[in-house]
Every structure is written in C-alpha cells, then in structure tokens.
Structure 1
Amino acid sequence: MKKSLLSLALVAIFGLTATASTPKEDEKKQVNVSASTVTWKGYKVTGEHNGTIKLKSGFLEMNGKKLTGGEFVVDMTTISCSDLEPGQGKEKLEGHLKSGDFFGVENHPTSKLVFTSVKPMNDTSYTVTGDLTIKGITSPVTLVVSMFENKATATIKVDRTKFDIKYGSGSFFDNLGDKAIYDEFDLVVDLAL
C-alpha cells in the first residue's frame, strides 16, 4: 500500500513537472510596453536625426517556441528626438514630425503593424512580412525578428513616401539641394515579453 501511494505521488509530481515545462501552442505573448523601446533614425543630405516612440500595445503569437504572428500599435503622439537638446531645435523638429508634413498625429494618433507571414531563418530569427498602417494608409513591409527567451528584436526599413509623407523628398521635389530628406527611415524595436 505504501509503495502504491509513493508510486502515485511520484507519477503525479513528474507528470505535473512535464506538463508545466511543455510549451503552450498558439499562445499570445503580451509585450511589456513600458519596458520595450522603439528607436527611429531618419536621414537627410546634411546628416541624420534619431529618437524614440512608444508602443501602445502589442503581442507575439507563438506555437511552442516558434513565432507565428504578431500585432503592434504605436502611439504616434510620443515621437521624440534624442539627438537635439531642448532650446536647440528639439521642440521644433518634434512638432514638425507630428504635423501634417510628416505623421499628422492629430488625425492619426496611432500606427499599426500586423504580421501576415512569418518564415524561420534559423532557430531564433524570422523573416516577417507585415501590413504597416501609417496615416491611415496600409503598405507591406519586411522585417527581421530575432527571439531571445523573454526578449525580441526587430529592424525595419520604412519608405515614408508609401504613406503619403513626401515632405523634402527628392523623389517628388526638384532642386532641394542639401535640404533633401531621404525617403527611407529605420526602426529598431526591442521588445520585452
């Protein structure tokens, strides 16, 4: 009788341990938005600017340890410039980026990225295609996402002109000289899960 109870206890303990360590299928991992960062970098003929923007919400879809999808909402009202100091053009640039010349945050306070295709490159990295919506316009983008336990990183190159952001673009305006702003900007995303 004692051996039977001991055997049952061991089976229960090992059974629970095996169940607890088995990855869940089709799990949505919520992103910790306050611990995650989105850094942007824009380029012009005479230099570059960089800054941050905050996530409003987001999740990654997982099947076991494999990435299968994701969706993110960005708070466009939080665009900030990191390379300029207050009183040295910081406020002016941030105001311009929030204006209708660029992201028009008064009418479009959020942007959204929805993964549409996820293809593994190796055990931890994926090529992701997604629908990016900025200023109410949706266009496909491709990015690389790398997973590390409770963290993920992504890099995205965005062509702003696909979202009707043409201010200072040499693709649409002639004779801009050194006032030209390149069409593509970079986003580097560090997610805490």
Structure 2
Amino acid sequence: MKLDDVRREYLQKGLKRSELDEDPVQQLEKWLGEAANLELTDNTAMTLATVDADGQPSQRVVLLKQLDQDGLVFYTNLNSKKAQDIKANSKVSANFAWLPLERQVKIQGVASRISNAEAFKYFVSRPRNSQLAAWASNQSQPISSRQVLKNAFEQMKSKFSDGEVPLPDFWGGYRIKPTLFEFWQGGGARLHDRFQYTPSAFGWDINRLAP
C-alpha cells in the first residue's frame, strides 16, 4: 500500500456562515441529528484526548451520552487512564468525525465529575450485561488473559443474580464544559470550510479559519 497515493476529493457540499446556528451546542445537535438520520455507525462516538501529569497526550473513543448547555457527558471507570489523566489535568479535547458526511467537530474544554445521582440515573438505564461488565473490568489495568476477564464477569453475574446491579463506587461520568468549538466541512481542492466558536461577553464569536 502506497500511503502517499491515498487521497480523494471532498465534494459533497460546502459550509457557509449563514448556515451556522449562533449557538454551537445547537449546531452540534443539528449535525448529530443528521448523522443519526443517515444511520451512520456509532454516530455519537467521539475521540477524547487527555494529557497526563508528565505531559503525554492520550486518545481513545468514548460515546457521548448527554449534550446540553452545560456540556458533553461521557461515562467511564473512575480508575481508568482517562480518569487519572483528567485528575492531573482537567483540560481535554474531543473530536467527532463523520467521514461519510465529510465533517468533523472539534471541542476543547474542561472536564469535571458529574454527581453520583446523575451517574446512577444513567447506570440503571444500561443493559444488565453492561452493568455487570462495569463491575468485572478493572479498566486500564494489565490482565493475564481474556479468560480472567470472562471469569470476573461470571462472578459478577452470580454475585448479583438476585435483584438490581448497584452502581460501582469506581464508576461515573464526566462533563466537558466547552471553551471552543470548531466545525469542519470538507471542500474540493483541499479548500475546506472551518468555523471556530469562542466565548464572548454576549455568547459566542464565530470566525472562519483558513483550511
């Protein structure tokens, strides 16, 4: 495979300033809705970037579970690598990439823990096997084999065979409070359209960026 020969033109559509909502959260909701309407696989998936105490960046894909004016919410094991990074440096970045639509959205912000009540409300809505998996996985820690994980899962099934699965004290959610949004739409000849939202005294300033 000759990597430098891999390319294509982005010709679906452009993006005009007049098409953008003045509120970046509503604009993100619009694009999320369009991705959902096309039934794109994992349309709520976002790449989350964190930085540890030594300044080493790390990325992984998480699922967006709530979006409103307070921010973007995702859930995780509170002992995971991402959680430890956020504890050391709460500044994060997230990226949605809907490649069939030739679109990306970048969000920068600050992550903080949501309340246990919010986490519980979401946890009880999850499929039972997902609840059990949260108990079984010591996320980000080395394990000797997949069988170890399967055994732990079976142990949790037995332990909680009667009644509801409780919320683990090591599991919860984070809310990203955005400080910047960037909406990207692919364009022909690499003349992409980029618009950046930054906070202002009266809402958000919107500026076009060179591609």
Higher strand share: 1
TM-score (norm. length: structure 2): 0.27
The structure with the greater share of residues assigned to helix is 2
Instruction: Output the TM-score relative to the length of structure 1.
Output: 0.28
Structure with larger RCO (C-alpha < 8 A, sep 6+): 2
- Tell which structure's C-alpha radius of gyration is larger: 1
